[in-house]
Amino acid sequence: MTFSHKFDPTSLREYDIRGIVGRTLKPEDAYAIGRTFGSMVAKNGGRTVAIGYDGRLSSPSLERALVDGAMAAGMEVLRVGCGPTPMLYFASAELKADGAVMVTGSHNPPDYNGFKMMLANKPFFGDQIRELGRLAAAGEVGPQKPGTTRDVDVKSAYVERLMKDWDGADRALRIVWDNGNSAAGEILSLLVKKLPGTHRVLNAEIDGSFPAHHPDPTVASNLQQLIAAVKEDDADLGIAFDGDADRIGVVDNTGAILWGDQLLVVLARDVLRDHPGATVIADIKASQVLFDEIGRAGGQPLMWKTGHSLIKTKMAETGSPLAGEMSGHIFFADKWYGFDDALYASVRLLGIVSRLTGPLSDVRLALPATISTPELRFDCADTRKFDVITEVAARLEKSGATVSRIDGVRVTTPDGWWLLRASNTQAVLVARAEGSTHEALDRLKAELASQLELSGIHAPDFSGENAGH
């Protein structure tokens, strides 16, 4: 039986395959992913593929088609069921699977879904995803072979492993969790029964329609319910997850948001006590305060490209025990597996907070104050976005500016810094700026706007976007 399949070109992204269910992503796409990815696992000398899925309404049907495709490629499919993406990563590592695929729409709206993949327990992304698309279209997937499937329940083992690294003091914490109706619901309910302290879980039920709020904890409006509950309970902190629980959001005891780079300061100080001089990685969107604080704590700060697959790859290359992104992906290789896991990051954070002599807000308030924009996103055609970055960089370097080209353009001035990069997953440019004062930030934003205009891009109005950090 011959096989070939063409994906909607918009669905093959840099880090995953993703689309709108029923329009750019359908069960036949899921089958083709299983069939083609399975053949790639076989070519790599593998035989087993672990498969999991999140709580979205479309995930069960996509998972079934994915399993059928992988079995058609001769794979032994290990079905771990519904749960968070990190649980699938854990299953892949513990079961020594040759490949792994998670059906998840992550933090996207309810009508989206997608697939995150690993090959030999390493991220599967970029050229590998493009190759999967090419192989499927060309029908280069090898002969159809009968595979097998079996259900594997790893939930209890995963929770037990999460708890293994609990290192908190006797101080009993009061914690509010916002599951956000995410796929972590069942795991979180098991975890809070084992953790010490008092726990209140909001939106505990797994519900792919996300009735409470959008499943993205990096957007302040999505944290308002958690903030209110932390204040109401006089809690020590609040923790939120995205739709598949590989990203974390944190609120301190005052209800203030601890952004991704601030959270990484707290975690890095703790990890560096056991790993003095170690490399700690953060993406290029992070505050300069983070990189300075890593250095003060005795670590080697490394600024790297945005993207969870890129960060994980760089961690393995450098032997880094810890990394993080502004988007809330936190990666522990210290005692853990090196993948992004909001549940594991929560356990480690709670241990740290329990050992503090004061509240978490004291740590946040002791950090140098800066004024920053949130992440600013504006439309720019895929055919144009990378050229804009090249043009801006060339002009700035010619002018003698201090420029980093690690990922886009990051410009450092006496006022602070600003960043412009092209999204790897959407037809947008992404900008951010951070200054020491409101006036300094205004100058940085004006410089950013000027560079955009010189490349024929209308600068967005972000005059009112300043936020303390």
Q: How confident is the model at residue 351 (pLDDT cuts 50, 70, 90)?
A: very high
Q: How confident is the model at residue 55 (pLDDT cuts 50, 70, 90)?
A: very high
pLDDT tens digits for range 201-255: 999 999 999 999 999 999 999 999 999 999 999 999 999 999 999 999 999 999 9
CA-nearest of 297, 35, 52 to 154 is 52
Beta strands in 262-329 (DSSP E): 279-283, 300-304, 322-324
Where does the chain hold its CATH 3.30.310.50 domain(s)? 371-468
pLDDT tens digits for range 154-172: 999 999 999 999 999 988 9
User: What is the average per-residue pLDDT within 259-271?
Assistant: 97
User: What is the average per-residue pLDDT within 328-353?
Assistant: 98
Where does the chain hold its CATH 3.40.120.10 domain(s)? 9-153, 157-366
Q: Of the listed 59, 106, 327, 372, which one is catalytic?
A: 106
Fold held by 157-366: Alpha-D-Glucose-1,6-Bisphosphate; Chain A, domain 3 (3.40.120)
pLDDT value at residue 458: 85
What letters, b where the CB count within 10 A reaches 16 and e where it falls short, cover 24-51?
ebbbebbbbbbbbbbbbbbeeebebbbb
Contact 73, 148 (CB under 8 A): no
Q: How confident is the model at residue 469 (pLDDT cuts 50, 70, 90)?
A: low
pLDDT value at residue 455: 94
Instruction: Show the CA angle centred on residue 25, arms to residues 20 and 28, nearest 5°.
Output: 160
To the question of domain 9-153 being in CATH 3.40.50.280, the answer is no
Q: How confident is the model at residue 184 (pLDDT cuts 50, 70, 90)?
A: very high
pLDDT tens digits for range 404-452: 999 999 999 999 999 999 987 778 999 999 999 999 999 999 999 999 9
Which DSSP string corresponds to 173-234?
A: PEEEEE-TT-TTHHHHHHHHHHSSSEEEEES-S--TT-SSS-S-TTSGGGGHHHHHHHHHHT
Does the pLDDT value for residue 322 go beyond 70? yes
Active site residue 436: no
CA-nearest of 168, 2, 151, 147 to 76 is 147
User: What is the average per-residue pLDDT within 382-394?
Assistant: 94
Mean pLDDT of the chain: 95
- Write the burial class of residue 184 (CB in 10 Å: 0-12 exposed, 13-18 middle, 19+ buried): buried
CATH number of 371-468: 3.30.310.50
Does the pLDDT value for residue 77 go beyond 60? yes
